[in-house]
Chains A and B, each alone.
Chain A
Amino acid sequence: MTRYDGRKNDELRPIKIQVGIIKNADGSCYLEWGKNTVLATVHGPKPIFPKHLGDETKAIIDYRYRMAPFSVSERKAPVPGKREKEISLVSGQALESAIFVEKFPNTVIDIDTIILSADAGTRVAALTAASVACANAGIPMKGLISAVAAGVVNKECVLDLMYEEEATEGTTDMPLALLMPQKEIVLLQMDGNVDRKQWETIIEMATKGSEKVYELQKKALLEKYPIEGELDE
């Protein structure tokens, strides 16, 4: 079976990552992932107001995943729905596992991601961008968060579903995020219908895919912060 855009089953869409493109933010990232475009910014750690919202043991991660009204074919109301709130919650928890939050008690780290154009896989694109933006902001982290979805379309296990595949009837979609290079799972969601064998296959596929995403994130960051005076010279 061939895919809509001719990709192999375990092939990612083209990904382009730009680091630090917004002056006013402590950290930022612009990311193009197939036909998805995402903007992520980071502000903080900064004192939290009102103070009672703070935690005396760690920084609060305030992660927002939002879809612009013009990011999908039917205009989406700008007020966040339950889906956006849930994605914000689990994505924030995923990033929290990477950040040394205990170093910044009574503060908040604001992480804003906005989908400018959506083509399936937006939560993993946003999380991938947010992780790069956190690195750009100089936030102490155990590693980067690298994410991608895998799933089952027409009984085939495939990596990185695009809109046409996600919209196919009976599709299973499973966004996964890893803390890299530790390879620990920090986000995993799924809805669909798979047997045990397909389940293991798509988890492995998304793990391998996330490792590829990690290489692209590293490349973008090292281009922004090149190693000076290479030893070989």
Chain B
Amino acid sequence: MNEIINTLYAEEVKNAIKAGGQRLDKRKLDEFRKIEIKKGGLNWADGSAIVKIGDTEVVCGIKFEIGEPYPDSPDQGSMTLNIELTGIASPEYFTGPPTLEAMEYGRIADRVIRSAEIIDFKDLCIIPGEKVLLIFIDCYAINAAGNIIDATEIASICALLDAKIPKIDENNKIIKGEYSDKKLNIKKIPLSFTFEKIENKIVLDPTDKEEDAGTTRFSIGICEDKIVSCQKSKSGTFTQKEILEMTDIALKKYGEIKKEILKYIKM
């Protein structure tokens, strides 16, 4: 898509918002798009999920590896979350080294899951101080139509819920394709809620066109009735009142979105 058309789209988004808080896809300002999830199905992944939020689609695969623990937590495994924004997902993205944007999206989604402390990393210890299991959560945007952050977070949590811990042999190596009876024992679902500020109005779950029209973004991580993480980004500003309003929307929506996810996932 060329730049002038994108500019025209952004104008349309802004005009609709100015005309009385309308969104081009007729959603309410605090309404999420339809969420669809396919859990599992990737043969070589230890856990996987494909998540759609409207036209945005993210696939996540999990692989366990054996590695060394961090010196400050010798009896704990660890996790790494990564999201790739390649040319597959949008003509705006280019295949190559990870962009700052991708790195930031990954860090935000990572923080939601990490801060909610849903994984007991001590369960992943093999030999304290020497060998632990590392969880690699790798995501790819398949189609980028806005709000990759929340799609990445939901895909990651669904893949974690799907994940099986591999069996380990007497030499402390992973036995490929064989799994222990243990699961990650995740009891809570932390969720990310991303907002975009457009013409002084705030919309939840922005589309790519809304992201282009907006000046400021806010992502907040909610786990049950607690706030576990947040990130303000882009060069606009928020008032304290706006931050608290977004917090209340996220807290209010948490139950609804969790219910949507539980339609596809058994805990």
Interface residues of A (CB under 8 A from B): 74, 82, 85-86, 89-90, 93-94, 96-97, 174, 179, 182-196, 199-200, 203-204, 207
CB–CB B235/A185 < 8 A = no
Q: Which of B226, B237, B243 contacts A194 (CB 8 A)?
A: B226
| Distance, CA A131 to CA B136, complexed state (A) | 38
| B114 cross-chain contacts in A, Cβ below 8 A | 191
| Distance, CA A191 to CA B248, complexed state (A) | 18
| Distance, CA A193 to CA B226, complexed state (A) | 6
Q: Please, which residue of chain B has its CB at the minimum distance from the CB of A185?
A: B238
Q: Which of A96, A192, A195 contacts B115 (CB 8 A)?
A: A192
26 interchain pairs, CB-CB under 8 A: A89-B104, A90-B231, A90-B233, A93-B233, A184-B237, A184-B239, A185-B238, A185-B243, A186-B232, A188-B218, A188-B230, A188-B232, A189-B232, A190-B227, A192-B229, A193-B226, A196-B227, A196-B247, A196-B248, A196-B251, A199-B247, A200-B244, A203-B240, A203-B243, A203-B244, A207-B240
| Distance, CA A203 to CA B226, complexed state (A) | 15
Interface residues of B (CB under 8 A from A): 71, 100, 103-104, 107, 111, 114-117, 218, 223, 225-240, 243-244, 247-248, 251
CB–CB A86/B107 < 8 A = yes
| B247 cross-chain contacts in A, Cβ below 8 A | 196, 199
- In the A-B complex, the 4 residue pairs with the smallest Cβ-Cβ separation, listed nearest first, are A184-B237, A96-B235, A188-B232, A191-B115
Minimal beta-carbon separation of A67 from chain B (angstroms): 17
| A74 cross-chain contacts in B, Cβ below 8 A | 71
| B237 cross-chain contacts in A, Cβ below 8 A | 97, 179, 182, 184-186
Q: Please, which residue of chain B has its CB at the minimum distance from the CB of A186?
A: B237
Q: Which of B71, B103, B233, B235 contacts A85 (CB 8 A)?
A: B103
Minimal beta-carbon separation of B183 from chain A (angstroms): 23
